[in-house]
């Protein structure tokens, strides 16, 4: 693994078994959960630069803990509030608000660090710009060192790896009596438009993992990009989707076609205990932060179905597994 920006980075050969690669990384993460310091010298005398272009709590803290478990030094740089405004467009005439071009900044980061971990965010204004992944791709192009996505304009791969880890753990603890678990990604109401990153990424990883009966449910007009959902069962009937589900992943996202909009915040889409009676005693997941009693009810968040805290805790082991693989593969 050279970089980590999507599930496709797990294999160098496009025809290789991504499901097996995901399982291997999950097992590595669970080994670290059992013994966090088993590779405490792997990152000795190495440094990771964590660049944040937007706010973060779990991603920032879990990544710092993970790299420290591997013996690395982590330096956090809040680019938006602490650095010069960066320009990412090629051949830009920098007569506006940007001060430094990524072509000049990224190679310097490449001299200072052994790995770059970057968190960006979409504008939700221009779909073509956001889905080109310009920001993270420019760092990959010019830094000359491995790049780990801590969330990009369209994907959140560390969150998705965390989710597979959490599902795998739950299936070991509470086995189900069917060949594949039914996993439902359901849209939830919100007070403002949110990116499609988590939903895109979860769909991408579920498809690549190929070990679940995966269903997406959302209101009309909230379709995700087919690049991430092709071949997936999609329904606008949430109750139908929830029938016999073993896991329910709750997340809001804004519109993709009429980009970055929120048409409604229908409270009927909020998951409740009543709706969970349709499921197979399903475990409930969410990436956090969550708007209580808007996206998810208190009774779910504080009840026995929620594995959200466990899920958030697993962010450490997902990051540690990925970064250890990059260290091993890149000297």
What are the tens digits of pLDDT across the range 169-208? 999 998 998 999 999 999 999 999 999 999 999 999 999 9
Confidence of residue 11 (pLDDT cuts 50, 70, 90): confident
Same fold, 7-155+315-329 and 159-313: yes
What are the tens digits of pLDDT across the range 210-264? 999 999 999 999 999 999 999 999 999 999 999 999 999 999 999 999 999 999 7
Q: Say yes or no to pLDDT of 14 above 70.
A: no
What are the tens digits of pLDDT across the range 119-133? 999 999 999 999 999
Which CATH architecture is the domain 159-313 placed in? 3-Layer(aba) Sandwich (3.40)
What are the tens digits of pLDDT across the range 71-117? 999 999 998 788 888 888 888 898 889 889 999 999 999 999 999 99
Q: Say yes or no to pLDDT of 15 above 80.
A: no
Q: Where are the chain's structural domains?
A: 7-155+315-329, 159-313
3.40.50.1370, 3.90.660.10, 3.10.150.10, 3.40.630.30: CATH of 7-155+315-329? 3.40.50.1370
Q: What is the pTM of this model?
A: 0.96
Taking the C-alpha atoms of residue 147 and residue 330, their distance in angstroms, rounded to an integer, is 12
């Amino acid at each position: 693994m050279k970089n980590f920006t999507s599930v496709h980075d797990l294999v160098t050969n496009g025809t290789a078994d991504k499901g097996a690669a995901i399982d291997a990384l999950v097992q590595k993460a669970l080994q670290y959960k059992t013994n966090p310091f088993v590779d405490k010298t792997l990152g000795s005398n190495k440094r990771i630069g964590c660049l944040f272009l937007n706010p973060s709590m779990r991603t920032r803290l879990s990544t710092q803990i993970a790299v420290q478990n591997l013996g690395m030094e982590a330096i956090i740089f809040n680019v938006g509030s602490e650095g010069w405004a960066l320009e990412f467009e090629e051949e830009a005439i920098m007569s506006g608000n940007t001060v430094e071009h990524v072509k000049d900044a990224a190679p310097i980061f490449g001299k200072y660090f052994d790995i770059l971990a970057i968190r960006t965010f979409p504008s939700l204004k221009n779909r073509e710009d956001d889905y080109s992944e310009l920001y993270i791709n420019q760092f990959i192009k010019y830094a000359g060192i491995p790049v780990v996505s801590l969330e990009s304009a369209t994907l959140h791969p560390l969150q998705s790896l965390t989710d597979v880890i959490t599902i795998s753990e739950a299936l070991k603890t509470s086995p189900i009596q069917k060949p594949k678990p039914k996993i439902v990604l359901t849209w939830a109401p919100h007070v403002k438009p949110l990116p499609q990153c988590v939903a895109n990424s979860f769909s991408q990883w579920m498809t690549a993992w190929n070990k679940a009966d995966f269903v997406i449910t959302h209101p009309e007009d909230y379709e995700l990009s087919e690049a991430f959902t092709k071949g997936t069962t999609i329904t606008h009937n949430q109750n139908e989707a929830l029938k016999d589900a073993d896991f329910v992943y709750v997340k809001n996202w804004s519109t993709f076609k009429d980009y970055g909009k929120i048409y409604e915040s229908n409270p009927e889409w909020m998951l409740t205990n009543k709706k969970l009676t349709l499921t197979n005693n399903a475990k409930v997941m969410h990436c956090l932060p969550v708007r209580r009693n808007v996206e998810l009810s208190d009774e779910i968040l504080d009840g026995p179905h929620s594995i959200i805290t466990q899920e958030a805790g697993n962010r450490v082991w997902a990051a540690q597994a990925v970064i250890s693989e990059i260290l091993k593969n890149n000297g």
